[in-house]
Structure 1
Amino acid sequence: MPRLVLIDGSSYLYRAFHALPPLTNAQGEPTGALFGVVNMLRATLKEKPDYAAFVVDAPGRTFRDDLYADYKANRPPMPDDLAAQVGPMCEIVAALGFPILREAGVEADDVIGTLAVAACRQGIEVTVSTGDKDFAQLVRPGITLVNTMTGSVLDPAGVVEKFGVAPERIVDYLALMGDSVDNVPGVEKCGPKTAAKWIDAYGSLDGVIAAAPEMKGKIGENLRAALGRLPLNRELVTIRTDVAMPLGPAELVLRGRDADTLRGLYARYGFTQALRELDGGTAADAAAEGTLRNTAAGYARSGGGQAEAADPALAAKGEYRCVTTREDLDAWTARAKAAELVAFDVETDALDALRARLVGLSLAVQPGEACYIPLAHDYPGCAPQLDFDEVLAALRPVLEDPAVAKVGQHGKYDLHVMRRHGIAVRNYSQDTMLESFVLNSTASRHDMDSLAARYLGYTTTRYEDVCGKGAKQIAFSQVELEHATGYAAEDADVTLRLHRALHPRLEAEPALLAVYRDIEVPLIEVLARIEANGVLVDAEELRRQSHDLAKRMHEAEQKAHALAGRAFSLESPKQLQAILFDELKLPALVKTPKGQPSTNEEALEAIADQHDLPRLILDYRGLAKLRGTYTDKLPASINPDTGRVHTSYHQAGAATGRLSSSDPNLQNIPIRTEDGRRIRRAFVAPEGRRIVACDYSQIELRIMAHLSEDPGLVAAFEGGMDVHRATAAEVFGAGSPEAVTGEQRRAAKAINFGLMYGMSAFGLSRQLGIARGEAQDYIAAYFARYPGVRDFMERTREQARERGYVETVFGRRLYLNDITSRNQGLRAGAERAAINAPMQGTAADIIKRAMVEVDRWLDGQGARAAMIMQVHDELVFEADEGFVPTLVAEVTTRMQAAAALRVPLVVDAGVGNNWDEAH
């Protein structure tokens, strides 16, 4: 059947503009939206449709403006950077051979609707390429919607699943909800769920209107108030299918592309991959050299701006085999043994890697060539599978062979599972999640599905596709082998393809390659060992603390009731609003997005000096958080097999490179309060062992001294001074550090750390409880004494604006897409990140390097000591009591040698029977 693709050009231009960073070419011309549209068009051409058209809105009024004077009245004018890309877009579209359609008096939607319905009647299969939900009303047998940006496809069943109504009722659905973008007011408070519910109950918009008199409650009142405008709404949201068109569907034939025009346009706008494709990957390379310069110079080269496969073969469907015979198993293990690189992936019965059991394992040796080896599928009628132990025995020589390189996607999980099944995987040398993360930590999510879509143009089979979701989800062991093979083998295959697409980009950036190769990859196995070691937790101590917290929460609640003069729920924002602002008449200094008085932490802190109740509520919340997050939950996290708590560390969590942890999160246990420190007392050493904590002292301030090269700051650290006291002596003119008061030191500490995090005079004034003018004087005095810090900040902001990213000492990058934003708030946030990220990221790099070196040394020490936690700038160990002095000496030496800065790194070490004592 012939196929027609109708492209909603206006929709894609706007969506690409807002989805991509502010790319520019070498001449500074904006190219971001253009880049997204061109990639979409090239993907469409690869599908070889019989007919196609690129449809855009014509200038001027349409019939909808005549129907409703305020139609689209609140829509802002097209941004200048976007308007500048419309002309080039049309030039490229025409040169690619697409007919461009625009009809006066109607919208692009109506042109598409008319052609789609006409083509469908003529037996032509229609695909509407759009991201606009309004087009769902056109869907029927023969007409589908495709969102090229997300890869999603909507047929009639898909429309029902997504919107809750059939395509023929989408107009009614839209009329009820209205459209804020087009300034079409719907029924107040009627969202998607209510609109779908009404249509399901009453059959149509007319049925809803007829039932309006009997509708109960506020929503019924809102419906009755909107009855007069609903018929007009229906007319406004209905896509016309009867526009008089100069061309019929069968006349929308693609013309031959104008290669010379395209070559010039691609070179001008820096579309390197498109140039390679146009010229067969040869002549274009030289022409494109140096033409691509976005605001993140090199953003596209590093993977930030590309949303396409470097090699079209990487986007093709693969061929997968289910291994159920010994002959097949031997053949695949032989292929894996001989392969340059093997991708592997495990399927299990649980998400907890330290408790999960293997269900199957997949291997890939070439892009498009992968297998799945089922081990524990147990649904009725399942075909015989190979013996579990026999398969592991056959795979062990390959997986444990250091000569066979392995690649995975977030492979730490797989390493845990294989270790628990008796296989210590060796030479795990590549990880696609980390390749993506190091290339650009903010460009994309780093899960396999997102990376495949972004870098391969490939839509993966998702877990829900084979297992279902919600209450009906089945275990993977219940999935039929055919479907399990397609899903699991694809995982290994796509992982190998992603490595082929991502690693050359890293190799093109030597500093990023070094971060990946020397820091992130070696850390995978280090973190796996820390997680497997776990930490011993005293559950009884936590239960005692939980009981005490509950008692104190009750006491705080009783005091709050007494202060308010009546009982109320401390958990209810609405009741708190009534007590604080209506009854006690406290000022509402912080508002919610909807303009209501806020009762969040910031709001309560702002009025805590005006009445005792806000502070009491804050104290209550602090106790409740400790109890709910730690003292109640940590005992439930104890692994029954090991008797220990095993957290999970995330390398690709924080954009700056900082590690985070979850299940449970051990990074955020508070240490500034006695209650927070009590929780650390429950982290204990077993009999005959001690807890050792080694913590970098003021590492980010030391990095600031290194980066700024400020003589005063460098001298303070080189002299081993208390830098906060030294800063106070300088800023407050105390004469000498010894003459500094405690209050002055506290203020200097706030300034030192606040400036690193972009704190303003307003923020400093609130933190110190002083006037804003006084805070500004402190900051001015600080910069007068440390001019190198001010120069560093100004220099860093300027470099961030020029490059679009900042770097750590070791070359890790943080891209800042908002650094040139017209939105002052977004731009200011990016500038704060530009100052902080080099310090926080360098600190992360340093402790990661230290962990790798310490782990190498520990490997030769047997069971005498183990690394059990990493928390911010601190490493925590468990060691035999007699081995502690050696451990402290060796670990502090390696931590201090993890970076060569202009000022010395200092590590403080503590020892105790529990984590709190070790501080």
Structure 2
Amino acid sequence: MKKLVLIDGSSYLYRAFHALPPLTNAQGEPTGALFGVVNMLKAVLAEKPDFVAYVVDDSGPTFRDDLDPQYKANRAPMPDDLRAQVQPLCDIVHALGITILREPGVEADDVIGTLALRGFDEGLDVTVSTSDKDFAQLVRDPVDGRGVALVNTMSGSRLDTTQRVIEKFGVRPDQIIDFLALMGDSVDNIPGVEKCGPKTAAKWLAEYGTLDGVVANASAIKGKIGENLARVLDRLPLNRTLTTIKVDCELPHAPQDLVLRERDHDALRELFTRYEMRQALRDLEGGEVAAAPAGAGSRGTAAQAVMPVALDPALSAPGEYEMVVTPERLDAWIAQLREADEFAFDTETDSLDALCANLVGLSLSTEAGRACYIPVAHDYPGAPAQLDRAHVLRALAPLLEDPSKKKLGQHGKYDIHVLRCHGVDVRGYSDDTMLESFVLNATATRHDMDSLAKKYLGYDTVKYADVAGKGAKQIKFSQVALDDATRYAAEDADVTLRLHRVLAPMLAAEPALHRVYRDIEIPLIPVLERIEANGVMIDPAELRRQSADMARRMLELQQRATEVAGRTFNMDSPKQIGALLFDELGLPATVKTPSGAPSVNEEALEAIADQHELPRLILDYRGLAKLRGTYTDKLPEMLNPRTHRLHTSFHQAGAATGRLASSDPNLQNIPIRTEDGRRIRTAFIAPEGRRIVACDYSQIELRIMAHLSEDPALLRAFTSNVDVHTATAAEVFGKTIETVEPGERRAAKAINFGLMYGMSAFGLATRLGISRGEAQDYIALYFSRYPGVREYMDRTRQQARDQGYVETVFGRRLYLENIAARNQGLRAGAERAAINAPMQGTAADIIKRAMIDIHGWLAPHAERALMVLQVHDELVFEVDEDFVPDLIDEVKARMSAAAELKVPLEVDAGVGHNWDQAH
């Protein structure tokens, strides 16, 4: 059975335009709709239709405009960004070999309707590719393998029988016209029966059969809806005419004329390259693919910051991998490593904890498409003989420890840890593909190898689960068969090298980004590796005491909550809490879940905590439960069995702003403003004869705001060495420094910090417990005294809209995919991020620069002091008592000198037997 596909071009165009973010290519030309439509066309053509047409509306009036001058009169004009994509899209469709139909005097719907039924009558199986419900009137049940079906390519839904139409709309295909006439269509400006929705229209047609039947029995329909029907009885026949798809148009083409032509490869190559449609290019020919230029106004996710790179086909082709199990082949690979300018390496282990992991094997690659795997500890029954691990490490150590031999990896900090634990101190680690991708664009993709290989190489990697299994059946890598292990592990080194070949030129073409990568991120790797390896000492007994105390207080809170509620309930059950608070006690549900149900999250409970005692009891209980589960119970269990210290992992590619993240455990989220949080810090201790030293930047983000905004009053507040919040209060409230009251300083502090995070008047009012009007007055006063801050915020928002990104002082970029979103909430969130990211990102860059400098200075003093933690704007050290003064002097000086701003960088330092005392 031959197939005819009729594509509703307008439906495709608008659906794609609204479904995707407002993407642009390097020249600033909009491309979002192009990406969406080309993907939908790809799905259509994959079905191999015999005949196909892309049908669009003509620009002139149609017969419906003659019938009703108000028809479609309220339609907004086509957005300029969409209009600009119409002709490029037609060019692409034509080059794909698809006939474009545009007939004057009728709509695309009428052309499609005529061809659909004519094709059906002539023995073709017809598909109308659309999301428009009006076409449901065309559906025909299959007869001898042919029918008329509607397919929504974007959602995958299909209407191909009368029954399916009934299931979706409640009426048969032959009733759809009357169904639409009763409801009307606000988009086309067809006024229907007021308050008559799909259910009412379907009910009337089920009872009376047709629109004529409904009109004839209008007097039997009572109530307000009956009155509404009576008012438009004279209008309904016109509605029916307007909603009827014309199926007898005189057309220059018959269905069999719409043969799919041969593609114009040259035209498609030119179009896909111009509009940076890399996947479409790859599908077209699988060869050279151009990536989108970095930072040239690209917005969204499809046209992200990557420089043009002609991909060598070898970079996406299968690799040749060797298993090295003889001394001769090991020697041969070592000889290749000596000759290579650089090489990629990777380790395979039996644990994700690098400090506890046993080395199972190493992989190496010196050229794209070729790599080896050296197994050293696969121990499954029947495993072939392997080289001795100690022998392999001794043989490779001179190369791995040679600082002049360039080495690269993917998240290489893990591998450096593993090798150090096995006696090899890696030096000369020059590049990391995870960080190359992260610096290029932190939000374009995830930065794991599988995601990067797919994005930048079009290459599907072997996944860990493919060789080791999943879930409870997953085996350790030491149990993986050598052939499978070689295929997986050698690919890691090979793909790392391939990615570097692609990503390095992209970074080199962006000098500012390249400096961030080369001067900050790469030198930071050994610093973080050393901090992680140092670990921090904790007092498990103190944490157990705190846990016991919290357990006692939680029990007291449970007992009190039972008394207040008048019955027992599970304080860990959101369902029971919701039923108690909202159903039984009748408290207002001010916050809803995405499904519309009352929420019992922290925000929801805080909103009603002043109306009843129970929400506060639940919040206090949850706070203690979280501290116990996250810290006081858990931290003692996480001590390293070898070092008896706590070792966190720091992540450079965790936060888009460049701030470091911490995990296993996360030591950056221990509360500092609560007594219980501070008590937890007392368990972070120094050994006998040593002290904890904490050095913390003072108000660094406000200082960066002063630097970026160059506001004279804000600069003066910092350079005059007075408390900035008091100075702000004096400016805002028209007082002298000496007469500022505590409440005024508190308000000024809330404004200072709130504006950096985009706090609204409502948010400030909530924070200060004042009216929204008062909060708005405070903000207006602030901007009147600090006009430079307002100018900076306006300037930054505009830069974000123009470029699609903002930058830190050092050139790090944060791309904002929603900065031009049609959704106001998404756009406002992106604007807040645009203002805050340069400050938060610059603060992150500054402390990273300080860490690199301090690490170098500490190297010869490793026996006397250790850097053990980094928490946001704070560095924590474990120091010999007699070395504390020297360390404080040096660290404060180096932290203060980590950036040259228009205001001084101030550093506070504290000393104690534990972390809390050092604050």
C-alpha contact (below 8 Å) 1:57/1:107 kept by paired residues: no
Residue 265 of structure 2 corresponds to residue 257 of structure 1 = yes
With 315-324 and 97-106 compared, the bigger mean Cα shift is at 97-106
| SS of equivalent residue, structure 2 residue 265 | coil
Name which of 107, 127, 142 aligns with 1:107: 127
TM-score (norm 2): 0.77
Matching residue's letter, 2:494 = D
**Aligned letter for 1:457?**
G
Following TM superposition, by how much is the alpha carbon of 1:655 offset from its aligned partner in structure 2, in angstroms? Answer: 0.6
Contact 2:298 2:305 in 1 (8 A): no
Q: What is the letter of the counterpart of residue 305 of structure 2?
A: S
Deviates further, 562-571 or 455-464: 562-571
The amino acid that maps onto 2:510 is E
User: Which residue does the alignment assign to 2:345?
Assistant: 344
Match of 1:639 in 2: 640
Between the aligned partners of 2:496 and 2:601, the Cα distance in structure 1 is: 43
After TM superposition, the structure 1 = structure 2 runs for residues 391-540 of structure 1, keeping only pairs within 5 Å, are: 391-540=392-541
Q: Could you report, residue by residue, the CA deviation over 1:484-527 in whole angstroms, capped at 9, with x for unpaired residues?
A: 11111111111111111111111111000000000000001100
Structure 1 Cα separation of the partners of residues 619 and 516 of structure 2: 42
In the TM superposition, what is the alpha-carbon distance from 1:309 to its structure 2 partner?
6.8
Query: Does the 8 A contact of 1:689 with 1:878 survive in 2?
Result: yes
1:771 equivalent in alignment to 2:768: no
Q: Compute the TM-score of the two structures, normalised by the length of structure 1.
A: 0.77
Paired with 2:626 and 2:53, the residues of 1 have a C-alpha distance of: 53
Alpha-carbon distance change, 614 to 789 in structure 1, aligned in 2, over 3 angstroms: same
8 Å Cα contact 1:631-1:679 kept in structure 2: yes
Counterpart of 1:822?
Answer: 822
Q: For residue 674 of structure 1, what is the aligned residue in structure 2? A: 675
Shift of 1:475: 1.5
Give the letter aligned to residue 736 of structure 2: S
1:310 matches 2:317: no
The equivalent of 1:711 in structure 2 is 712
The residue aligned with 2:192 is none
1:843 CA displacement: 0.3
Q: Determine which structure has more spread, i.e. the larger CA radius of gyration.
A: 2
RMSD after superposition: 4.2
- 5+ residue gaps, structure 2: 58-75, 102-111, 118-125, 131-144, 146-150, 174-205, 207-253
* Identity level (%): 67
Q: Which moved more, 1:798-807 or 1:89-98?
A: 89-98
Mapped to 1, the partners of 2:516 and 2:720 lie a distance apart of 31
The whole-number CA distance in structure 2 between the counterparts of 1:644 and 1:901 is 38
Q: Partner residue of 2:133? A: none
- Does the 8 A contact of 2:34 with 2:85 survive in 1? yes
Between stretches 861-870 and 571-580, larger displacement belongs to: 571-580
What displacement does 1:104 show?
3.4
Deviation of 1:755 after TM superposition, in Å, equals 0.4
Q: How far did 1:18 drift?
A: 7.5
Partners of 1:53 and 1:18 lie apart in 2 by 30
- Paired residue type of 1:728: A
Q: Trace 1:140-155 onto structure 2 (pairs within 5 A).
A: none
Give 2:492's aligned amino acid: D
Hey, what does 2:234 align to over in structure 1?
A: none
Which deviations, in whole Å up to 9, do the C-alpha atoms of 1:171-192 show, x marking residues without a partner?
9xx9899989x999xxxxxxxx
Q: Is the CA contact (8 Å cut-off) linking 1:22 and 1:294 kept in structure 2?
A: no
Matched-pair contact (CA < 8 Å) for 1:50–1:253: no
**What amino acid does structure 2 have at the position aligned with 1:104?**
A
Match of 1:326 in 2: 327
Q: Is the 8 A contact 1:58 1:104 kept in 2?
A: no
How far is 1:333 from its partner?
Answer: 1.1
Q: Which residue of 2 aligns with 1:161?
A: none
Report the Cα distance in structure 2 between the residues aligned to 1:579 and 1:762, rounded to whole angstroms.
29
Deviations 1:85-132 (A, max 9, x none): 46523422443567899973643679xxxxxxxxxx9xxxxxx99886
SS in structure 2 at match of 1:327: helix
Cα drift, residue 291 of structure 1 = 13
Q: Which residue in the other structure is 1:761 paired with?
A: 761
In structure 2, give the amino acid aligned to 1:32.
G
Deviation at 1:372, TM superposition (A): 0.6
Structure-2 change in CA distance of 1:53 and 1:377 (3 Å): farther
**Structure 1 counterpart of 2:893, one-letter code:** T
- Alignment match, 1:376: 377
Q: Secondary structure at the match of 2:837?
A: helix
Q: Note the C-alpha offset of 1:389.
A: 1.1
Mapped partners of 1:827, 1:444: distance in 2 = 20
Partner of residue 629, structure 2: 628
Report if the CA contact (8 A) 2:116-2:128 is conserved: no
Using the TM superposition, name which of 737-746 and 330-339 deviates more. Answer: 737-746
Q: How does 1:523-562 map to 2 (within 5 A)?
A: 523-562=524-563
Distance in structure 2 (CA, Å) of the matches to 1:769 and 1:480: 65
Distance 1:81 1:381 in 2: 64
Residue aligning to 1:689 = 690
User: Whole-Å Cα distance in 1 between the matches of residues 638 and 168 of structure 2?
Assistant: 47
Partner in structure 1 of residue 657 of structure 2: 656
**Matches of 1:290 and 1:598, distance apart in 2:** 44
1:342–1:407 contact (8 Å) kept in structure 2: yes
Compute the displacement of 1:50 (Å): 14
Partner SS, residue 107 of structure 1 = strand
2-structure distance, mates of 1:27, 1:532: 47
Contact 1:725 1:740 in 2 (8 A): yes
> How far 1:596 sits from its partner (Å)?
2.3
Stretch deviating more after TM superposition (861-870 or 677-686): 861-870
Give the CA deviation at 1:34. 2.6
Within a 5 Å distance, the mapping from 1:887-902 to structure 2 comes to 887-902=887-902
2:356 match: secondary structure: coil
Distance 2:840 2:582 in 1: 40
- Superposition deviation, residue 82 in structure 1: 5.8
What letter is aligned with 2:840?
A: Q
Does structure 1 retain, via aligned residues, the 8 Å contact 2:401–2:427?
yes
Report the more deviating stretch, 391-400 or 612-621.
612-621
Please report how far the alpha carbon of residue 628 of structure 1 lies from its aligned counterpart in structure 2 after TM superposition. 1.0
AA paired with 1:538? Answer: D
Bigger mean CA offset, 573-582 vs 891-900: 573-582
- 1:178-257 correspondence runs (5 A): 246=256, 254-255=262-263, 257=265
Distance 1:458 1:12 in 2: 29
- Looking at structure 2, the residues matched to 291 and 558 of structure 1 have their Cα atoms a distance apart, in angstroms, of 60
Counterpart in the other structure of 1:89:
89
How far 1:472 sits from its partner (Å)? 1.6
1:347–1:488 Cα contact (<8 Å) kept: yes
Q: Is the 8 A contact 1:267 1:291 kept in 2?
A: no
- Alignment-derived partner of residue 904 in structure 1: 904
What pairs with 1:748-897 in structure 2 (closer than 5 Å)?
748-897=748-897
1:624-680 Cα distance to aligned partner (Å, 9 max, x none) = 111111101111111111100000001000110000100000000001011100000
2:826 & 2:363 partners in 1: Cα distance?
A: 44
Q: CA deviation at 1:750?
A: 0.7
Report the alpha carbon displacement of residue 834 of structure 1 after superposing the two structures with TM: 0.5
Shift of 1:414: 0.4
CA 395–464 in structure 1, closer or farther in 2 if over 3 Å, else same = same
Shift of 1:892: 0.6
The answer on whether the counterparts of 2:293 and 2:305 sit within 8 Å (CA) in structure 1 is no
Query: Structure 1 residue 692: deviation in Å?
Result: 0.5
Inter-partner Cα distance in structure 2 for 1:836 and 1:845:
14
Is residue 6–residue 128 contact of structure 2 (8 Å, CA) maintained in 1?
Answer: no
2:6–2:129 contact (8 Å) kept in structure 1: no
Worse-superposed segment, 391-400 or 656-665? 391-400
Whether contact under 8 Å (2:24, 2:30) holds in the other structure is: yes
Residue 360 (structure 2) aligns with: 359
Contact 1:95/1:262 (CA < 8 Å) preserved in 2? no
Distance in 1 of aligned mates of 2:447 and 2:515? 19
Q: Deviations over 1:212-237 (max 9, x none)?
A: xxxxxxxxxxxxxxxx9xxxxxxxxx
Deviation string, structure 1 residues 672-717 (Cα, Å, up to 9, x no partner): 0111000000000011111000000000000000000011110010
The separation in 1 between residues aligned to 2:16 and 2:574, in whole angstroms, is: 39
